[in-house]
Amino acid sequence: MKRREFIVAGTAATALTLTTRLAFAEAGRIDWYTTSDQNILDFWTNIVKPKFEAANPGITINLVDAGDNAGAQAIAERALAALGSSADPQVDMIEGFDARQPVGAVDKGLWVDFKAAGLSNYSKINPLALQIDGMPQNLPYRGSQVLLAFDTTKLAAADVPKTFADLIAWIKANPGQFIYNRPNKGGSGGNFVRRAIYEANGKDPSVFKVDNYSAEAGAKALEPAWALLNDLAPSLMDKGAYTSGNSQSIQLLGQGAVTMIPAWSDQTLAAIAQGALPETTGIVQLQDLGFPGGFSRFTVPSNGVNKDAALKLADFVLSEEIQSAVLTELGGFPGVSWDYVSADLREKFKDVIPASIPVFPGGDWEKAINEGWYRAVAPNIDPKS
Amino acid sequence: MTTTPAGDIAVATSSAGDIVGTRNRWYLGLLLVAAPVLLVCWLIIYPIVSAVIQTIWLPDGAGGFHLSFSTYAFFFSDDYSLANLWLTLWTTFVCAALLLVVCLPIAIYLRFSVGRLPAYVQALAIFPMFVPSIILSYAFIRVLGPNGMVDILLNAVHLPKMRSPYLTPWGPVIGLVWDHIPLTVLILLSGLGNVSNQSIEAARDVGAGRWTVLWHIILPRIGNAILVAASFAVLGIFSAFTIPYVLGPAAPEMMGPYMQRTFRELYDPTNAITQAVVSFGFCIVFGLFYVRSVARNQKT
């Protein structure tokens, strides 16, 4: 990945130097940055921007790819440095960003508090999304969740497992037809592993909190999960192989090497649209407890020249029009409650609508999972096989 | 074939041969190499020293630091780490051996044949140099992966599917060998430049067969090139990242992906640096081979 990252970072750096040289914030032009992948930038370019500009004559959006989080953080630091002076931060919105950074920005009032900003659509936001994050300076607007993608030519939709126990039974009954990626190399395998951890701990996501990790709690919660996954390993592709990323799993499903994989909802729909996965790919969410996922958020700096226009955009993004497009065009989940998308979409996506979106905490738990899985589960594969 | 560069140098350094007038300005030479030497000290030597210090001068928990080899003791007593090190050494040596087996015939062919075909073969042998390893990795999955092109071809002639090397230790071996062919061929080819056509013709005249020529005439002249090619291959493969990351098994993993994972996902810089120092220790042995052979070359 190094080379690709380098190219992306290099391109972003070039783009940044160009924009800082040539661009001065203009009244009525929202300077928008993103840390997300190309499919998100395409969504904003092709859907959000034209619709918003048509609805708000005189306001334009300048979409800029910040490359990654580090790129956006540099932009945010510039805004923080400009705070309290008359300097122009040249940024009005950062997509895919967390207001917890840069350090101290919230205390100094860099980010707009959306709760108090008077957005007409704020009350529509899925309470689950607010509860997961709990940071009023972050505005959740789209969700993504891991689900099962499968080959309908080999497995009829009616026979697809609906619970995790059924899934395990199916994997064992169909050896070699399932693969997930290493939990640290992409969220699809990572959240499959986390779902297995829930399964081994009474399917109760509330057991895991960002601050309740200890070595004993970790061993008690994780060891049964490792046993469960080890038990599964001989039934995986090549008797216990694990791909090194989300897209490699999708590639194996596309080549017909396996019948079912865990995959991100948006990535799967994009892969089907682009032909990387055939039209005959089916997707399904577990009904007893869904695979974990999360919400993406954006932030608005309080000192941007076009703050009011940016808040108008924020409100627009939460409207039914854009939230429905998140489902249909992006393959993500709406950031608003399901009641605020159109009824026919609710019906169409009922198979993937989760009863809940469990979110596994990061921090020490994540570290323990990454380390524990490699030591306890991964070596199952015989290097001489 | 009659010029002797060493003889020219001898003339230039003799008292009568101070043609360019540098004899009393010995510092000029040092100034010329100062920039690269300083860069090496700053970007390579200093990080090495600082890395070694960081792994043995550990915080003692009370705000102070003390000398400790505990991270090394952990590495060499931890089965998981040792399995990773072992896999890295295995991959490196298998790749180096395969590279010589594959590249020596190509280089010999290119050296001794004339015409248009060798030019195409050379272009083909150099081609992997222009393919980024991430693209190579995904192409590998398409061709050698399960239900890939090879499987489709086998199926077309009613043969059973092969066991794909993807996600096994052989995946990185195949990818790395392909990736390192250009450099190895070029180094061996330059070594074969030392073998004169006359010496081979002379051997043929007295009745030497092909293998005798290879064993007694060609190989002795290119021993140094083989050593250099092997050192370069070993150094490149030991620290390989992308290909083992995408094509290799989850565990054991090669040192490159292992270090990266320890550093970025386990937030454990001290152990990641320890792994790096251990890798460096192995690489420096091959680096010394290379330096020695270069030094020996310059003496003769």
Report the distance separating Cα A369 and Cα A360, nearest Å. Answer: 11
A15: confidence class by pLDDT, cuts 50, 70, 90: low
Q: If you ran DSSP here, which 8-state letter would residue B162 be given?
A: P
Chain A positions touching B145 (Cβ under 8 A) are 251-252, 255, 257
Residues 6 or more apart whose Cβ sits within 8 Å of residue A59: A28, A29, A30, A52, A53, A306, A309, A312, A313
Of A182, A237, A367, the CB nearest to B267: A367
Taking an 8 Å cut-off on Cβ atoms, the answer to whether A244 and B265 are in contact is: no
pLDDT, residue B153, reads 92
The CATH architecture of the domain made up of A2-143+295-348 is 3-Layer(aba) Sandwich (3.40)
Taking an 8 Å cut-off on Cβ atoms, the answer to whether A367 and B266 are in contact is: yes
Domain boundaries, chain B: 21-68, 71-299
Return the higher-pLDDT residue of B47 and B251: B47
The DSSP bridge pattern shows strands A29-34 and A93-95 to be: parallel
Report the distance separating Cα A351 and Cα B137, nearest Å. Answer: 35
Residues B219-256 pLDDT 10s: 888 888 898 899 889 988 998 999 999 999 988 899 99
Q: Angle of helix B170-192 relative to helix B117-126, nearest 10 degrees?
A: 130
Q: Is the distance from CB of A356 to CB of A289 less than 8 angstroms?
A: yes
Q: Is A248 an 8 Å CB contact of chain B?
A: yes
- Pick B71-299's CATH classification: 1.10.3720.10, 1.20.120.1200, 2.40.50.140, 3.40.50.620: 1.10.3720.10
**pTM of structure:** 0.73
Which residue type is seen at A82? A
Return the higher-pLDDT residue of A9 and A60: A60
Q: Is the distance from CB of B230 to CB of B100 less than 8 angstroms?
A: yes
Of A244, A248, A257, the CB nearest to B147: A257
Q: Is the distance from CB of B134 to CB of A1 less than 8 angstroms?
A: yes
The DSSP bridge pattern shows strands A281-284 and A139-151 to be: antiparallel
pLDDT, residue A91, reads 93
pLDDT, residue B187, reads 93
Taking an 8 Å cut-off on Cβ atoms, the answer to whether A244 and B142 are in contact is: no
- Tell me the residue length of chain B: 300
CA distance B173 to chain A (A): 13
Nearest chain A residue to B164 by CA distance is: A238
Chain A positions touching B169 (Cβ under 8 A) are 383
Angle value at C-alpha A41, between A99 and A128, nearest 5 degrees: 45
B3: confidence class by pLDDT, cuts 50, 70, 90: very low
Query: How far does Cα B39 stand from its chain's mean position?
Result: 22
Average pLDDT value for residue range A237-248:
88
pLDDT, residue B4, reads 46
Return the higher-pLDDT residue of A360 and B81: B81
pLDDT, residue B17, reads 58
Taking an 8 Å cut-off on Cβ atoms, the answer to whether B169 and A383 are in contact is: yes
Bridge partners (DSSP) of residue A156 are none
Residues A269-321 pLDDT 10s: 888 878 889 989 998 888 888 888 878 889 999 999 899 999 999 999 999 99
CA distance B208 to chain A (A): 43
CB pairs < 8 Å spanning A and B: 84
Query: How far does Cα A376 stand from its chain's mean position?
Result: 27
Residues 6 or more apart whose Cβ sits within 8 Å of residue A114: A122, A136, A137, A138, A139, A300, A314
Which residue blocks in B193-268 are alpha helix, DSSP H? 197-205, 210-212, 219-238, 242-247, 255-264
Domain boundaries, chain A: 2-143+295-348, 144-293+358-380
Tokens 């469990």 belong to A358
CATH of domain A144-293+358-380: 3.40.190.10
A263: confidence class by pLDDT, cuts 50, 70, 90: very high
**Which residues of B have a CB under 8 Å from any CB of A?**
80, 83, 87, 132-134, 138, 141-142, 145-148, 163-164, 166-169, 241-242, 245-246, 248-253, 261, 265-267
CA distance A257 to chain B (A): 6
pLDDT, residue A383, reads 36
Residues B132-176 pLDDT 10s: 988 999 899 889 988 889 988 998 999 888 888 998 999 999 999
CA distance B89 to chain A (A): 14
Q: Is A278 an 8 Å CB contact of chain B?
A: no
R_g of chain A, CA atoms, integer Å: 22
- What is the interface pTM, i.e. ipTM, of the complex? 0.74
Q: Is the distance from CB of B107 to CB of B189 less than 8 angstroms?
A: yes
Would you say residue A335 has pLDDT above 80?
A: yes
Q: In Å, how far are A254, A289, A325 from A351, measured between CA atoms? A: 22, 13, 18
**How many other C-beta atoms can be found within 10 angstroms of the C-beta atom of residue A64?**
23
pLDDT, residue B186, reads 94
Cβ density class A103-136: b for 16+ within 10 Å, e for less: eebbeeebbbebeebebebbebbbebbbebbebb
Would you say the CATH fold of A144-293+358-380 matches that of A2-143+295-348? yes
Tokens 């619970």 belong to A163
pLDDT, residue B299, reads 67
Taking an 8 Å cut-off on Cβ atoms, the answer to whether B87 and A1 are in contact is: no
Lowest mean pLDDT among A330-334, B161-165, B175-179, B295-299: B295-299
Angle value at C-alpha A356, between A242 and A342, nearest 5 degrees: 110
Nearest chain B residue to A5 by CA distance is: B134
Report the distance separating Cα B262 and Cα B273, nearest Å. Answer: 9
Report the distance separating Cα B181 and Cα A153, nearest Å. Answer: 41
